[in-house]
Structure 1
Amino acid sequence: MAGELLTKAYVGGRWVAGRGGTFPVYDPATGEEIAKVADCTVDDVKEAIESASGAFEVWRKTTAKERAAVLTRVRDQLIKEKDNMATILTRENGKPLTEAKGEVGFAASFFEWFGEEARRQYGEAIPSSVPSKRMITIRQPVGVAALITPWNFPIGMVGRKVAAALAAGCTCVLKPAEDTPLTALAFAKVCESAGVPAGVVNVVPCSRARVQEVGAALTESPKIQVLSFTGSTAVGQWLYSRCGQTLKKLSLELGGDAPFIVFPSANMDKAVGGAMASKFRNTGQTCVTANRIFVHESIHDEFVKRFSEAMSKELRIGQGLEAGVNQGPLINKRQYDRLVKMVDESVAAGAKVVRGGKSPGGLYYAPTLLIDVTPSMPIARQEIFGPVAAILKFKTEEEVIRMANATDMGLAGYFYSNDLSQIWRVTEALQVGMVGVNEPMVSTCEAPFGGVKRSGLGKEGSKYGLDEYTDLKYICFGI
Structure 2
Amino acid sequence: MSRTEIPGSDVLGPQALAAARRCGVEVDAVTGEAAHRSPVNGASLGGVRWSSPAEVDTAVTRAHEAFLAWRRTPAPARGAVVKRFGELLTQHKADLGELISLEVGKITSEALGEVQEMIDICDFAVGLSRQLYGRTTVSERPGHRLMETWHPLGVVGVISAFNFPAAVWSWNTAIALVCGDAVIWKPSEQAPLTAWSCAALLDRALVEHGAPPAVSQVVVGGPEIGEELVDHSGVALVSATGSTRMGRTVGPRVANRFGRSLLELDGNNAAIVAPSADLDLTLRGVVFAAAGTAGQRCTTMRRVIAHRSIAGQLTERLAAAYARLPIGNPMAEGTLVGPLVHGAAYEAMTKAISRAESEGGRVVAGGERVLAEAAEQAFYVQPTILTMPDQTEVVRSETFAPLLYVMTYDEFDEAIALNNAVPQGLSSSVFTSDQAEAELFVSAEGSDCGIVNVNIGTSGAEIGGAFGGEKETGGGRESGSDAWRAYMRRATNTINYSGELPLAQGVDFSV
Please say whether Structure 1 and Structure 2 have the same fold, judged by a TM-score greater than 0.5.
yes
Helix, strand or coil at the partner of 1:140 = strand
Matched residue type, 1:453:
K
Deviation at 1:14, TM superposition (A): 13
Moved more, 323-332 or 188-197: 188-197
Residue from 189, 195, 206 that aligns with 1:195:
206
Q: Does 1:349 align with 2:359?
A: yes
Distance 2:155 2:49 in 1: 22
Distance 1:140 1:454 in 2: 30
Does the C-alpha gap of structure 1 residues 373 and 388 become closer, same or farther in structure 2, counting only changes over 3 Å? farther
Helix, strand or coil at the partner of 1:255 = coil
Hey, what does 1:82 align to over in structure 2? 93
Unaligned runs of 5+ in 1: none
2:64–2:234 Cα contact (<8 Å) kept: yes
Matched residue type, 1:144:
V
Q: Does 1:204 align with 2:219?
A: yes
Q: Does 1:381 align with 2:396?
A: yes
Helix, strand or coil at the partner of 2:178 = helix
Distance 1:157 1:291 in 2: 21
Aligned residues: 468
Q: Does 1:458 align with 2:476?
A: yes
Residue from 104, 114, 117 that aligns with 1:93:
104
Deviation at 1:231, TM superposition (A): 0.8
Matched residue type, 1:180:
A
Distance 1:391 1:62 in 2: 53
1:250–1:457 Cα contact (<8 Å) kept: no
Matched residue type, 1:375:
Q
Moved more, 342-351 or 56-65: 342-351
Q: Does 1:329 align with 2:349?
A: no
Does the C-alpha gap of structure 1 residues 303 and 14 become closer, same or farther in structure 2, counting only changes over 3 Å? closer
Q: Does 1:448 align with 2:459?
A: no
Does the C-alpha gap of structure 1 residues 38 and 29 become closer, same or farther in structure 2, counting only changes over 3 Å? same
Hey, what does 1:268 align to over in structure 2? 279
Residue from 50, 71, 74 that aligns with 1:60:
71
Q: Does 1:146 align with 2:157?
A: yes
Deviation at 1:264, TM superposition (A): 0.6
Helix, strand or coil at the partner of 1:30 = coil
Does the C-alpha gap of structure 1 residues 59 and 14 become closer, same or farther in structure 2, counting only changes over 3 Å? farther
Deviation at 1:335, TM superposition (A): 1.1
Distance 1:472 1:174 in 2: 24
1:37-436 equivalence runs, <5 A: 37-195=48-206, 197=211, 198-207=213-222, 211=223, 213-313=224-324, 315-360=325-370, 361=372, 362-376=378-392, 378=394, 380-428=395-443, 429-436=446-453
Residue from 20, 30, 52 that aligns with 1:5:
20
Matched residue type, 1:408:
P
1:329–1:364 Cα contact (<8 Å) kept: yes
Distance 1:122 1:330 in 2: 43
1:436–1:442 Cα contact (<8 Å) kept: no
Matched residue type, 2:490:
L
1:240–1:250 Cα contact (<8 Å) kept: yes
Deviation at 1:133, TM superposition (A): 1.4
Please identify the structure whose Cα radius of gyration is greater. 2
Deviation at 1:135, TM superposition (A): 1.7
Deviation at 1:15, TM superposition (A): 9.3
1:90–1:100 Cα contact (<8 Å) kept: yes
Moved more, 468-477 or 380-389: 380-389
Deviations 1:320-374 (A, max 9, x none): 1111111011001111100111012212333222221110124111122212453
2:19–2:96 Cα contact (<8 Å) kept: no
Matched residue type, 2:96:
M
Matched residue type, 2:267:
G
1:216–1:242 Cα contact (<8 Å) kept: no
Distance 1:189 1:49 in 2: 19
Helix, strand or coil at the partner of 2:150 = strand
Hey, what does 2:501 align to over in structure 1? none
Distance 1:463 1:258 in 2: 22
2:240–2:262 Cα contact (<8 Å) kept: yes
Does the C-alpha gap of structure 1 residues 452 and 132 become closer, same or farther in structure 2, counting only changes over 3 Å? same
Deviations 1:46-76 (A, max 9, x none): 1111111111011111111101110010001
Matched residue type, 2:451:
M
1:357–1:367 Cα contact (<8 Å) kept: yes
Deviation at 1:116, TM superposition (A): 0.8
Deviations 1:301-333 (A, max 9, x none): 1111211222223x1100111111110110011
RMSD: 2.1
Q: Alignment identity in percent?
A: 28
Does the C-alpha gap of structure 1 residues 255 and 64 become closer, same or farther in structure 2, counting only changes over 3 Å? same
Deviations 1:357-400 (A, max 9, x none): 1101241111222124531152x121122122211111111222
Q: Does 1:474 align with 2:459?
A: no
Distance 2:85 2:481 in 1: 20
Unaligned runs of 5+ in 2: 1-15, 373-377, 498-511
Distance 2:399 2:434 in 1: 30
Helix, strand or coil at the partner of 1:353 = strand
